[in-house]
Amino acid sequence: MAQNKKMVEAITSRDEDFAKWYTDIVKKAELVDYSNVKGCMVIRPYGYAIWENIQADLDRRFKETGHENVYMPMFIPESLLQKEKDHVEGFAPECAWVTIGGSEKLTERLCVRPTSETLFCEHYAKIINTYRDLPKLYNQWCSVVRWEKTTRPFLRTSEFLWQEGHTMHETEEEAREETLRMLQVYADFYKETLAIPAVVGEKTEKERFAGAQATYTIEPMMHNGVALQGGTSHYFGDGFARAFDITYQGRDNQLHYPHQTSWGVSTRMIGALIMVHSDDDGLVLPPKIAPVQVAVIPIAMHKEGVLDKARELYNQLKQTFRTKLDDSDQSPGWKFAQYEMQGVPIRLELGPKDIEKNQCVLVRRDTREKLFVSLDGIEDAITDLLKKIHDDMYDRALENMHEKTHVATTYDEFIDLSKNNPGFIKAMWCGDSACEDKLKDATGGVKSRCIPFEEEHLADTCVCCGKPAKHMVYWGKQY
């Protein structure tokens, strides 16, 4: 296999240099290219195909829960952004501004959207009049711009693709239910489609989204023990509604302010896929979002009947699976390495001896296990194997998360774990953000990830200050 790897391009070992390994994969698997616009990336066809599969799955889930897609402008007038003080202060350092249109200086600066709460609120103020207009369940697929100082493809770029849901409700109870419902949609998607386990819970006050009363989060762990904020869901209360004078006539004939939520995930999920599942030979993709699920490789295709049988099998399988037939003149070894690099879940090899035996060879990308399978009922065999690949990928990621999750009950234990055991640290916390700051400074970046919905009682006192504990928190470094 080492020889075949050289036929494509070798990748830096994950254990040797994790950051270089990640960059090698996004480049050599042809997911992205760098742009001459600082901090921006070109998403290449294979990378975009992964995003399209993610988008299609999530879009179906959103519509099944009653949401409709809309599209808002890219630009936000400065006066509009200023209407919600906490919100604008939270995003001010990351905003990109347009000051000239054509050759004319603009009378008011335009912000290139970092998020769209203010745009949705302006629109909602025009279309919400009575309780009969509620709820408004809207979602938008778009790009946003946040002027990042340090960038890395998919994980943190100045422009990125995402979806942002923005909803309005009659009551606080309905809005809070929506916030948690969409968080669960994300959690299910991560498990059922991306094969990624995650800790799910509420952000501390210090880590809340700007302008939110409550922020909930999906926190998967990467292979190296570093966390990634995988998606968030926010309850805003009626703060934005008051700022934008959004009112409706209630069932009691009185004017009320609606309650608002927002929630979003982005192309950062592709970075998570790479760092959770992939290995030193390239991508390892979960079957449900792989652009190609089965690559058909004819062996000795110059021999009579081999290519014809491979084409017949391809035409049969493409009815059920995303299938590719590689009948190029590259050597089989080169093809094996190429599809390993691209993370294709199943490689199907078919040669003259296989045809004689009415069989083919199925090779799993995740484990490289070879299976000799009859061509009779091949669709069922592939269906079962794709499911097993997904389940095994999830189980391995879950095992890695469990192995790299530790418990600290004292300050010294916390500091020692942060230095010597990469991963999550479970520890009790008093609720004071000063302790969050102290732990982050003392550990070089370990932050609160979330308060899980199912808290454990690990100790009576805060791991930092020794005062009575209020919550158990997951802590960790993040991308």
pLDDT at 91: 74
The full set of domain ranges for the chain reads 11-277, 294-388, 405-476
Residues 293 and 320 sit within 8 Å (Cβ to Cβ): no
Residues 218 and 98 sit within 8 Å (Cβ to Cβ): no
What tens digit of pLDDT does each residue of 206-241 get? 999 988 999 999 999 999 999 999 999 999 999 999
What lies within 8 Å, CB to CB, of 351 at 6+ separation is: 298, 299, 300, 306
Could you say which residues of the chain have pLDDT below 50? 1-7
What mean pLDDT, rounded, does the chain reach? 95
pLDDT at 357: 97
Question: How many angstroms separate the CA atoms of 356 and 379, rounded?
Answer: 19
For tokens 């066809």, what's the residue? Answer: 45
What tens digit of pLDDT does each residue of 110-138 get? 999 999 999 999 999 999 999 999 999 99
Question: How many angstroms separate the CA atoms of 248 and 256, rounded?
Answer: 5
Question: How many angstroms separate the CA atoms of 147 and 157, rounded?
Answer: 8
Architecture of domain 294-388: 3-Layer(aba) Sandwich (3.40)
What lies within 8 Å, CB to CB, of 71 at 6+ separation is: 140, 141, 142
CA angle 112, 203, 285 (to 5 degrees): 70
Pick the CATH number of 11-277 from 3.20.20.70, 3.40.640.10, 3.30.930.10, 2.40.40.20: 3.30.930.10
Residue 21: both structure tokens together = 């390994």
Q: What are phi and psi of 447, to 5 degrees?
A: -120, 165
Is residue 147 packed enough to be buried (19+ CB in 10 Å), middle (13-18) or exposed (0-12)? Answer: middle
Q: What are phi and psi of 74, to 5 degrees?
A: -75, -25
Question: How many angstroms separate the CA atoms of 446 and 478, rounded?
Answer: 8
Architecture of domain 405-476: 2-Layer Sandwich (3.30)
Residue 242 exposure: Cα atoms within 13 Å on the Cβ side: 6
By C-alpha distance, which of 273, 49, 44 is closest to 155? 273
Residue 5 exposure: Cα atoms within 13 Å on the Cβ side: 10
Question: What's the pTM?
Answer: 0.95
pLDDT at 148: 84
Q: 363-371: long-range contacts at Cβ-Cβ below 8 A with a sequence spacing of 24 or more? A: 363/336, 364/389, 365/284, 365/285, 365/339, 365/340, 365/389, 366/277, 366/284, 366/392, 366/393, 367/392
